[in-house]
Amino acid sequence: MARIVQKYGGTSVGSVERIKHVASRVERSVKEGHELIVVVSAMGKSTDELVSLANQITDAPSKREMDMLLTTGEQVTISLLTMALHECGIEAVSLTGWQAGMETEASHGNARISAIKNERLEAELAKGKVVIVAGFQGLSEQGEITTLGRGGSDTTAVAIAASLKASRCDIYTDVTGVYTTDPRYVKKARKLHSISYDEMLEMANLGAGVLHPRAVEFAKNYDVPLMVASSMEDVEGTLIEEEVSMEQNLVVRGIAFENDVIKVTVKGLPNRIDTLSKLFTTLSENHVNVDIIIQNQYDEEHVNISFSITQSSLKETLAVLGKAQEDLQFADVSFEEELAKLSIIGSGMVSNPGVAAKMFDVLAKNDIFVKMVSTSEIKVSVVVLGADMTLAVEMLHEQFQLAEEVQVAVTV
């Protein structure tokens, strides 16, 4: 008998019929003898509907009241799933995040988990019950209901798995696993049997939407094996763990990408030792997240600094820079829209320096101009025109033979 945490996303519990389907999957696991904790999201688009209701009341709802409102979505799901399990003859109990002992920092809308007091969870499991927990929510030390932000249910599930020393955490979603790239864009994308925490963390950070980076980071820190699988199909998923058990010799494991990238250039900054520090401290203090950074010196006294941001951050970024222009002493700001970032990822890249060269060669042969570059030990990212994104991904997927079960290592 294993102790397993299962998590079902909003699509998986999007209707009464799908909730009944999840109940049947849980019933099967119980009959196999496992102890189960099931974490669920709000049903389908119900969170969007709650946000819409708030917006009909006010254009600026308080973050506290939004947390009070949004946490009701998961409470609907836990109650309905528990009822469905009762109909199957399975003993089960539903718990909100705070009933399950989920403690968070005092921040509304994007709180981080600070601790889990799992006494209630252990007590219910000891009674032989399946415990159904509302994801995405917790309680601060001040007694305020909080939400965990994007990917909060994934993070809830992994945190509970770590706290209860579960054998693994199964993330059930509307895809059958982690793919070499998004199969909606590349038809030959292949599902991976396994992938390391570090590779998955890079893919999640760089645009792959299967898992949220916080959940992967939590799993890595507490050594929780993750399985990503489909809630609709009974097929093998993708195992995420520290040591990849299959396909260990692959150089590039996947390609992540995202559009709506903006390149911002701050022109005529003074060429001083503290220029970078002052610029990015200013942006950081105003909660502007930047990605790729490039510095160009065009004369002895001045430099231009470019960095990438998301489209949603543009207005705020320009406002922050406008207010700080006198202090930062720059001449002008320009920006370029309709760009995309794509990244090749693989732990095998550490010992294969020829990978970046192959990437740039493929892009050049397909007349794809590279505007920015960023590298780490296990990834190379480039910013290109948004119109070139799909072609670039397809060509790189083919170049690194990601559609094949057995790949050829890159040689220098």
3-174 and 246-412: identical CATH topology: no
Per the CB < 8 A criterion, the answer to whether 146 and 114 are in contact is: no
The reported pLDDT for the residue numbered 117 is 95
Angle at 145 between CA 142 and CA 148, to 5 degrees: 110
**Tell me, what's the pLDDT at 407?**
44
Q: What pLDDT is attached to residue 349? A: 84
Cβ atoms of 150 and 115 within 8 Å: the answer is no
Here the tokens at position 161 are: 């798995």
Q: Is 0.95 surpassed by the pTM of this model?
A: no
Confidence grade of residue 287 (pLDDT, cut at 50, 70, 90): confident
Q: Where are the domains of the chain?
A: 3-174, 246-412
Q: Residue by residue, what is the 3-state secondary structure of 58-107?
A: CCCCCHHHHHHHHHHHHHHHHHHHHHHHHHCCCCEEEECCCCCCEEECCC
47 membership: H or E segment, kind and range: helix 46-57
Q: How confident is the model at residue 228 (pLDDT cuts 50, 70, 90)?
A: very high
Q: Quick one: average pLDDT of 373-383?
A: 92
| pLDDT, mean of residues 303-320 | 94
Are residues 205 and 144 in contact, defined by beta-carbon separation less than 8 angstroms? no
CATH of 3-174, one of 3.40.1160.10, 3.40.50.2300, 3.40.50.1370, 3.30.70.20: 3.40.1160.10
> How do residues 161-187 score in pLDDT, each as one tens digit?
999 999 999 999 888 999 999 988 999
What is the distance between the terminal CA atoms of the chain, rounded to a whole angstrom?
Answer: 48
pLDDT at 334 over 50: yes
Confidence category of residue 306, pLDDT binned at 50, 70, 90: very high
pLDDT in tens, 15-38: 999 999 999 999 999 999 999 999
- Determine the Cα–Cα distance for residues 24 and 49; give it in Å rounded to an integer: 28
241 vs 3, higher pLDDT: 3
CATH class of 246-412: alpha beta
Long-range (24+ apart) CB contacts under 8 A made by 221-224 are: 222/158, 222/161, 222/162, 224/158, 224/161, 224/162, 224/166, 224/168, 224/169
Mean pLDDT of 97-110: 94
Give the pLDDT band of residue 408 (cuts 50, 70, 90).
very low
Position 337 scores a pLDDT of 95
Check pLDDT > 70 for residue 410. Answer: no
**Residue 81 and residue 23 in contact, taking contact as beta carbons nearer than 8 Å:** yes
74, HSE (Cβ side, Cα atoms, 13 Å): 29
> CA 197 from chain center: how many Å?
13
Q: Among 98-102, 117-121, 196-200, 266-270, name the one with the lowest average pLDDT.
A: 196-200
